[in-house]
Amino acid sequence: MSGTKAAERAKPEDVPVAEASASTGKVGVYLALLQLFFTLGWTVYVVYLPQLAAKVGLPATAVIIILLIDQAVFTITDTLMGIAADRMTPIVGRLSRVVIWLTVVSCAAFVALPFVADLGPNAKIALIALTLVWVVTSSALRAPPLALLGKFAARPSIPMLSCLVMLGYGVAGAVSPYLGVVLRNHDPRIPFVVSTVVLLLTALSMSWIERRLREGRLSAPERAPIKMPKSYGTLALIFIVAMLVLALGYQLHFSINSAPLFLRFAKQPDLQWLMPVYWIGFNIAMFPASFVTRRLGGLLVIGCAGLLGAGAVFGMENAGGLNAMIAMQFMAGAAWGCILMSAVAAAIAVSGGAEGKVLGLMFSAIALATFTRIAAVAGGLSRNSAYEALLQWAPILCWALAGAALLFIAVARLRKWRQNDNLADAPV
């Protein structure tokens, strides 16, 4: 009798659901590892770039210029890679093959950097050329893998997959301060080789990910794309501009303001323990936020998180002690985690079938914000007392204005959807 009841409970349609859940977890973990190793490789590069530049005779100012060029290149190539991903996905296996080959070229250029630098001043041009090759080809690991999710993964699974992807980014951000301290006095060839091998081995599994997604185990009957109205083009543009403003707020707060704020109540050696608080909040908040995103849409979560982040940054600027500052920094990191996680889901939702293009534009916006921050630091903005008020209020205004705009749009669309019960106007 019990066996019969068990058989009745295990309906045929339950098996694909279980398979879908298992596949979702595997794909999510893979993408998290890919993002983790890619970001850690970038950290290794930034830590050792001054040393490599000095070996070939480049001045210290050249390091800033190289980093600016890196972000300028990302601003262009991220969008181009996203557009290319849209064009390649209709042909089975093409996108994964292109991503793998570009990653091979990227890893070859990356691992060669410390060995070329050892050749001395005669290798100056070679080092710069290898850096450009690495930056251009590494864009293949940003928008294209996520474009596959947008085209073939089930919509309900996308927020959790986005959460796992950004978890890799958050973990890398949390360990980066320690990595910088540990690696600074070591031979660069070892970390370059290790990070290259790990990233390459991970990227070689891209064809397996594409095959799993295309098999339909993640998308079941939802695989057919929804035809979006023309208004989604305007919505996508507003979303990209808002992400640029939000990313600028993040860069100004975390990369410029956070350390000086902590130093009001702490000492310089304490920063390596205090700065990761931001990423702890980032990683923890994404998981509950993914369920809200699945239910109410990414734009609503981004809007609320932007306002929460603005309040947290304001609280940190006016904190009266270290404990209060740590709490506010945790909240600010949680807000940025919710923003990035929901942004991937929202980008896919507002794309109207051009997932790669919109995701590429989103990454380009983030790169442009990074470029702006590096340029501001290089220009002495953070050292000029005349701009102290600007630096204090800019992150708050960026997060508050962009968050309020997206929240207004999300609430308006949510009301319209509930009134009309129109799928095209569903929360995004």
pLDDT digits 0-9 by tens, 258-291? 999 999 999 988 888 899 999 999 999 999 999 9
CA distances from 109 to 102, 106, 250 (A): 11, 5, 30
pLDDT of residue 6: 43
**pLDDT at residue 207, as a whole number:** 79
268 is a domain residue: yes
Percent of the chain with pLDDT over 90: 43
Tell me, yes or no, whether 154 lies in a domain. Answer: yes
The CATH number that applies at residue 56 is 1.20.1250.20
Indicate whether 185 and 287 sit together in one domain: no
Co-location of 154 and 290 in the same domain: no
**Residue 151: predicted pLDDT:** 75
As for how many domains the chain has, the answer is 2
Condensed to tens digits (0 to 9), the pLDDT of residues 113-132 reads 999 999 989 899 999 999 99
pTM for the model: 0.86
Q: Residue 11 domain-assigned? A: no
Q: Which two tokens stand for residue 164?
A: 């796992």
pLDDT value, residue 15: 37
Alpha-carbon distances of 117 from 110, 124, 158, 185, rounded to whole Å: 12, 8, 42, 16
| Domain finish residue from 189, 221, 253 | 221
For 224-268, what is each residue's pLDDT tens digit?
Answer: 333 334 455 788 899 999 999 999 999 999 999 999 999 999 998
Q: What is the pLDDT of residue 420?
A: 66
pLDDT on residue 297: 85
For residue 255, how far is the Cα from the chain centroid?
16
Q: Tell me the residue range of the domain where 208 lies.
A: 18-221
Which position has the higher pLDDT, 224 or 90? 90
DSSP 229: P
- Do 332 and 205 lie in a common domain? no
What is the tally of helices (H) and strands (E) in the chain? 17, 0
Burial 339-372 (b: 16+ CB within 10 A, else e): bbbbbbbbbbbbbbebbbbbbbbbbbbbbbbbbb
Say if residue 240 is in the same domain as residue 305: yes
Q: What is the pLDDT of residue 162?
A: 87
Inform me whether the pLDDT recorded for 12 exceeds 60: no
Residues 329-349 have a mean pLDDT of 93
Whether the pLDDT of residue 338 is over 60: the answer is yes
Give CA angle at 342 (363, 163), nearest 5°: 90
- Please say which residue of 221, 236, 269 terminates a domain: 221
Q: What is the pLDDT of residues 391-412, one digit of tens each?
A: 889 999 999 999 999 999 888 8
Q: How is residue 251 annotated by DSSP?
A: I
What is the rounded CA–CA span in Å between residue 152 and residue 33? Answer: 20
* CA atoms in the 13 A half-sphere facing the CB of 295: 5
Four-CA torsion 156, 158, 164, 167, nearest 10 degrees: -120
3-state secondary structure 278-306: HHHHHHHHHHHHHHHHHHHCHHHHHHHHH
* pLDDT (average), residues 373-393: 83
Q: How many Cβ atoms from other residues are within 10 Å of residue 4's Cβ?
A: 8
Indicate whether 56 pLDDT > 50.
yes
Mean pLDDT calculated for residue range 25-41: 84
Q: Does residue 2 fall inside a structural domain?
A: no
Of 289, 373, 279, 275, nearest to 339 by C-alpha is: 289
Answer yes or no: is pLDDT of 422 > 80: no
| Contact yes or no for 70/135 (Cβ under 8 A) | yes
Q: Compute how many other C-beta atoms are within 10 angstroms of the C-beta atom of residue 196.
A: 21
* Mean pLDDT, residues 352-358: 84
The residue-averaged pLDDT of 68-75 equals: 93
The residue behind tokens 């530049």 is 53
Same-domain pairing of 216 and 253 = no
Any idea which of 45-59, 352-366, 414-428 has the lowest mean pLDDT? 414-428
User: Do residues 163 and 175 both lie within one domain?
Assistant: yes
